[in-house]
Amino acid sequence: MSIVYDAAARTLTLHTRESSYQMQIGPLGYLLHTYYGRRAEGNFGPLHLRKDVGFSPVPHALAEETRGWSPDTMPLELSGANAGDFRTPAVCAAAEDGQRGPDLRYVRHEIRPGKYSLNGLPAAFDPGGEAETLSVTLADESLGLEAELLYAVYESRDIVTRALRLRNTGKGTLTLEKTASCCLDLPFGDWDLLHFHGRHAMERQPERTPVMNGAMRLGSRRVASSHQHNPFAILCGRHTTEDAGDCYGLMLVYSGSFELEAEQDQMGSVRLSAGIQSEGFSWTLRPGESFDAPEALLCFRHDGLNALSQCYHRFLRRCLCRSPFSGALRPVLLNNWEATYFDFNRDKILAIAREARDLGVELLVLDDGWFGRRSDDRSSLGDWFVNEEKLPGGLEPLIRGVKDLGLRFGLWVEPEMVSEDSALYRSHPDWALALPGREPFLSRSQLVLDLSRPEVADWIYETVAGLLRRYDIDYIKWDFNRSLTDLYSPALPPERQGEQAHRCTLGLYSVMERLTAAFPQVLFEGCAGGGGRFDAGILAYFPQIWCSDDTDPIERLTIQRGTCYGYPLSAVGAHVSASPNHQTGRRTPLDTRALVAMAGGFGYELDPGKLSEEEKARIRGQIRRFRKLAPLLREGDLYRLTELDDRRDYEAWQIVSEDRDESLVSLVLTHPRANPRPLHLRLKGLDPAARYRLERLEVFEAYLPEPPEELPELFSGAALLYAGLTLPRMMGDYPGVQLQLRKVED
Ligand code: GLA
C-alpha cells in the first residue's frame, strides 16, 4: 500500500521507495501539507507549531480557542484566494455576484488502484500496474466550487503525480481566474531554485539561485512552453550537489502558457506552485461543469540531482510517452536543412540520400521547402501540396528513390501555421489568429491558425493524415516557428476570450492524440524553432524533440545539460553538423560533434557530398559505434560528472546500464590551458564490489603533448568510484574522450 489513511491522526500519507508525502485534515477541515521528504513513518502534523503571528488572520470559528492558528502561516495542500492566506494562491474563482474565493475545506477522500486520467490533456499512464490513486475533494460551499486533488503514486519510481479537477457544484456560473496544478509548501529549510531559461538557439540554460524573500515567478505567455523558460524546475537545498542532498522536482505536463512560482514568505516558508499561466486566463464554469488543470510530476530525492534526473528520465520514457518508439531503437537520420536550406531539387536530395546511405544512415529527412511555392520562409505555410518546380512529379518519385536506396523517408511539416501568401489564407483568412479590426503581428512572416476551433483542428488532422495516407512516410518533424499573439477567437463569446490560449493548447493535443493513435508506425519528432516546446506535454505523444537550432557542440554542452535535468537523452534530438558551425562559426573536431550528438537522438545535418574521404570513414565509424552503444544510451542512467558551478575546463558525463554491467564516459575539453591541472574524474553509478575492464579509450582529435601513459586494463568498481581515473593530457580545439567499461564476470 503506497497510500495510507490514518483515521486517528487524520493523515493521508503517500509512500514511494525513497520519499513520503503527507497531508493532514486539520482544524475546520483545512487540508494541511505536513511533510514531503525522505521516506519516514509517523504523523508530521505536530511539526507545525502554532504561533500567533501579527497580521495573520484567524478563522472566526477558531479565534476563541486558538488565536495563533492562521491559514497564512500553516502549510496548505492547495491554497485558495481571499481566504486569510496572503501568500501566492493556487486557485482563484469568482461567483456571479463578484464574490471571490475559494476558501477550501476537506469533504471526502478515496483511495483506489490504478492511475486517474484527465480530460483532453496528456497524463502519465501505468504500464506496470503499480500506480495507486488518491482523490481528495475540498470544497467552498458558499462559492459552489469543489476542488478534487488527484494524486497517483508510483512507488518504485519515486514519482507522485498531481492534478486538479475543479467542479461547479452551485447554481450560478463561476469564473476561474487561476488554476495551479500543484502547490507545495515547504515550511523549513534554505532553498535554491534551479530553473532553465534561455532564448532561441540557446534554450534551457541552467540557473541556480537562492529563493528570495518575496515571490519569484517565471513562465511563458507565448502559448508554447517556450525557449525562454521551461515548465520544469528543481528546488534544492543550498548545499545539494549532483550526488548528495535534498531536491524536489516539479514538472508540468503542459505545452502552453504556464507559470511557475517560488515564494518565500515572512516566516521563511517556501511555496512552489505551477500551472496554466494565470495572466489573461479565465474559464467559465457553468453549474455541473468541471475543468481539469494539467498534470504535475513531483519527485523528491535526498541523494542529489543526478538521482532526481534519473527518476524523471525513467518515468518519462516508460510512464508518460505512449509512442511505441519510446523504448525502441531509433534510426540514425540525416536531415537536409543545414545541407541545402531551401535550395534543393529532387536530384540534390537523392544525391544526399545516396551518400548518406553509404555512410550508414537509415532515414533521410526532407525539411522545409518542399510544398506550395516555398523558396524562402515568406510563403506557402498551409499549402501542404508538393512544389512541383523543385520536385517534378511530386513526392512519390523522390520517396521511391530514397526507398530504393534502402533508406526510410521523413518529412517536415509546420501545420499549426499559415503564411499570408498562401492559398489557405486566401480561402480562410478568418482561421488565423487576429484581433478584430487590427493587423495581426507577424513573426517569421507567418500567422498562427486558431486551433481552438474544432474545424481548424480537424483540417490540420486531415491534412497531415492525408500526407501519411498518401505517401510512404516513416517520420514526421512537426515544427512550430513562432509565438502566439493577438489572442482572440470570433468563435468564442466575449466572456470566454480568456479561455483562448488554453483552448489552442487543447486543440493541439486533440490533433496529436488522433494522429499518433491513427499512425503508430510513424516516428514523430517535435520541434519549435529548435527547442521552443521541449516539455512533457509534447513528449506524451512524440518520443523526441529537436533540442535546439544551435548545433554547435560546445553550445550544445550547456543546452543539453540543462535539458537533461528533467528530460531523458532518448528525447533529445541532436545532430552532427558541418564545421565551421552555421550558427556560431566555431570549428570543432568531427568526433567531438558526434560524441555530443550521442548524448541524444543521434543524426546528421550536413551535406555528405562535401565531406572528404577521411571524414566519411570517420562518420561510418561513428554510426557503427552509435549502433553498438544505442541500447545503453537509451536505457542507461545518466550521471553528470561535473557540478554546475565548477570552474572547470571541460564537461563530462557518464551513462551506466541499469544492471551496472556497462558504462560509457564522455568528456569534451572546452578550455585547453598552458599548464593544466590533471584531468581527473571520479566515476559514478558503478558496482563497487565488481571489477571493470576498460574496453575502449578513444581520445578524439586532440594534440597530445606526450604519448599518453597506458591506463591499466582492469579496475575495481570501488577504485573508479572512490579514487577515480586520470585521463591523458589533451591540447587543441575541443578534443573529446570516450571510454567504455564492462563488468568482468569472475
Ligand atoms: C526551424 C527548425 C529547423 C528547420 C527550420 C526550417 O527553425 O528548428 O530545424 O526545420 O525551422 O524552416
Domain-embedded: residue 738 = yes
Given its phi and psi angles, is residue 119 left (phi above 0), alpha (psi -120 to 50 degrees) or beta?
Answer: beta
pLDDT tens per residue across span 274-303: 999 999 999 999 999 999 999 999 999 999
Co-location of 647 and 628 in the same domain: no
pLDDT band at 728 (very low <50, low <70, confident <90, very high): confident
Residue 429 domain-assigned? no
In this prediction, residue 696 carries a pLDDT of 86
Give the count of domains, the chain.
3
Question: Residue 540: inside a domain, yes or no?
Answer: yes
Residues 492 and 596 grouped into a single domain: yes
Q: Which of 262, 290, 320 is the last residue of a domain?
A: 320
Give me the half-sphere count of Cα atoms (radius 13 Å) on the Cβ side of residue 160: 29
Q: How confident is the model at residue 334 (pLDDT cuts 50, 70, 90)?
A: very high
Ligand 1 atom at minimum distance from 377 CA:
12
Residue 86 binned pLDDT confidence (cut-offs 50, 70, 90): very high
The residues with which 137 forms a beta bridge, in sequence order, are 108, 148
Is 295 noted as a catalytic residue in this protein?
no
**Per-residue model confidence (pLDDT) at position 68:** 86
Tens of pLDDT, residue by residue over 226-282, are 999 999 999 999 999 999 999 999 999 999 999 999 999 999 999 999 999 999 999
Give the position, in ligand 1's atom list, of the atom nearest the Cα of 367. Answer: 10
3-state secondary structure 517-538: HHCCCCEEEECECCECCCCHHH
Same-domain pairing of 354 and 227: no
Does the pTM surpass 0.85? The reply is yes
CA pair distance 706, 446, nearest whole angstrom: 56
How confident is the model at residue 267, as a pLDDT? Answer: 95
Distance of CA 533 from the midpoint of ligand 1 (Å): 13
For the cut 80, the answer to whether the pLDDT of residue 730 exceeds it is yes
The model's confidence at residue 343, banded by pLDDT at 50, 70 and 90, is very high
**Over the range 67-99, which residues count as b (16 or more CB within 10 Å of their CB) and which as e?**
eebbbbbbbbbbbbbebbbebbbbbbbbbeeee
At 564-590, the pLDDT tens digits run: 999 999 999 999 999 999 999 999 999
Is pLDDT at 441 greater than 90 in this prediction? yes
User: Of 591, 577, 588, which Cα lies nearest the Cα of 626?
Assistant: 591
DSSP state at residue 231:
S
Q: How confident is the model at residue 709 (pLDDT cuts 50, 70, 90)?
A: confident
Ligand 1 contacts CB of residue 414 (under 6 A): no
CATH number at residue 707: 2.60.40.1180
Beta strands in 281-400 (DSSP E): 283-285, 290-301, 333-335, 363-366
Residue 550 covered by a domain = yes
What are the φ and ψ backbone dihedral angles of 305, each rounded to 5 degrees? -75, -35
Q: What is the DSSP string of 575-643?
A: EEE-SS-TTT-----HHHHHHHHTSSEEEEES-GGGS-HHHHHHHHHHHHHHHHHHHHHHHSEEEE-S-
Do 626 and 644 share a domain, yes or no?
A: no
Q: Calculate how far, in angstroms, residue 405's C-alpha sits from the geometric centre of ligand 1.
A: 26
Assess if residue 436 is contained within a domain.
no
What is d(CA 717, CA 729) in angstroms, rounded to the nearest whole number?
23
422 lies in some domain? no
Question: Active-site residue 52, yes or no?
Answer: no
CA–centroid distance, residue 573 to ligand 1 (Å): 13
* pLDDT at 724 > cutoff 80: yes
User: In terms of domains, do 728 and 623 share one?
Assistant: no
- Return the minimum-mean-pLDDT range out of 49-63, 485-499, 618-632: 49-63
| 534: confidence class by pLDDT, cuts 50, 70, 90 | very high
**Could you identify the atom of ligand 1 that is nearest to the CA of residue 412?**
10
Q: Decide whether any atom of ligand 1 lies within 6 Å of the 257 Cβ.
A: no
Distance 479 CA to ligand 1 centre (A): 7
pLDDT at 585: 98
CA of 574 to the centre of ligand 1 (A): 13
Provide the grid cell at 625: 559505434
Same domain, 41 and 148: yes
pLDDT of residue 381: 98
pLDDT exceeds cutoff 90 at 32: yes
Is the distance from the beta carbon of residue 367 to the nearest atom of ligand 1 less than 6 Å? yes
Active-site pick, 383, 535, 550, 591: 535
> 478 CB under 6 A from ligand 1?
no
Mark whether 565 and 689 lie in a shared domain: no
Nearest CA to ligand 1 atom 12: 368
Name the closest-CA residue to atom 2, ligand 1.
Answer: 529
Asked if 186 and 62 sit in the same domain, the reply is: yes
- Predicted pLDDT of residue 507: 98
Average pLDDT estimate for 80-88: 98
- Quickly list H helices, 5-142: none
| pLDDT score recorded for residue 136 | 99
pLDDT at residue 699, rounded to an integer: 84
Model confidence pLDDT, tens digit, residues 348-390? 999 999 999 999 999 999 999 999 999 999 999 999 999 999 9
> What pLDDT is stored for residue 209 in this prediction?
98
For range 91-104, the mean pLDDT = 98
pLDDT at 707 exceeding the cut of 80: no
Is 203 near ligand 1, meaning CB less than 6 Å away?
A: no
Tell me: do 308 and 379 sit in the same domain: no
Q: Are residues 217 and 251 in the same domain?
A: yes
The answer to whether 717 and 656 have CB atoms below 8 angstroms apart is no
238 CB-near residues (< 8 Å, 6+ apart): 190, 191, 192, 210
3-state secondary structure of 334: strand
**Residue of 342, 367, 534, 538 to mutate, ligand 1, most atoms within 8 A of C-beta:** 367
> Residue 647: what pLDDT?
75
Strand runs labelled E in 634-717: 637-640, 650-656, 662-669, 679-681, 691-700, 714-716
The CA 622 to ligand 1 mean position distance, Å, reads 25
% of the chain at pLDDT higher than 90: 95
The backbone region for 108, taken as left when phi is positive above 0, alpha when psi lies in -120 to 50, beta otherwise, is: beta
Question: Residue range 101-115: average pLDDT?
Answer: 98
Q: Which amino acid residue places its CA nearest to atom 7 of ligand 1?
A: 529
User: Which residue among 580, 608, 632 closes a domain?
Assistant: 632
Residue pair 398/349 in contact (Cβ under 8 Å)? The answer is yes
Same domain for 340 and 242? no
Task: Please state, in angstroms and rounded to a whole number, the distance separating the CA atoms of residues 43 and 49.
Answer: 13
| pLDDT computed for residue 359 by the predictor | 98
pLDDT of the residue at 51: 80
Position 729 scores a pLDDT of 87
On the question of pLDDT at 710 being above 90, the answer is no
Is residue 589 domain-shared with residue 722, that is, in the same domain? no
| Domain enclosing residue 474, as ranges | 333-416+446-451+459-498+506-632
Phi, psi at residue 416, to the nearest 5°? -85, 0
Q: Is residue 441 part of a domain?
A: no
Structure confidence by residue, pLDDT tens digits, 202-212: 999 999 999 99
Distance CA 177, CA 334 (A): 46
- Residue that finishes a domain, picked among 632, 649, 676: 632
What's the whole-number average pLDDT of the chain? 96
Quick check: is 388 in a domain? yes
Q: Is the CB of 479 under 6 A from ligand 1?
A: yes
Cis peptide before 392 (omega within 30 of 0): no
CATH number at residue 236: 2.70.98.60
Q: Which of 615, 661, 687, 733 is catalytic?
A: 615
Question: At a CB cut-off of 8 Å and minimum separation 6, what does 4 contact?
Answer: 11, 12, 13, 15
User: Residue 529 Cα, ligand 1 centroid: separation in angstroms?
Assistant: 5
Total residue length of the chain? 746
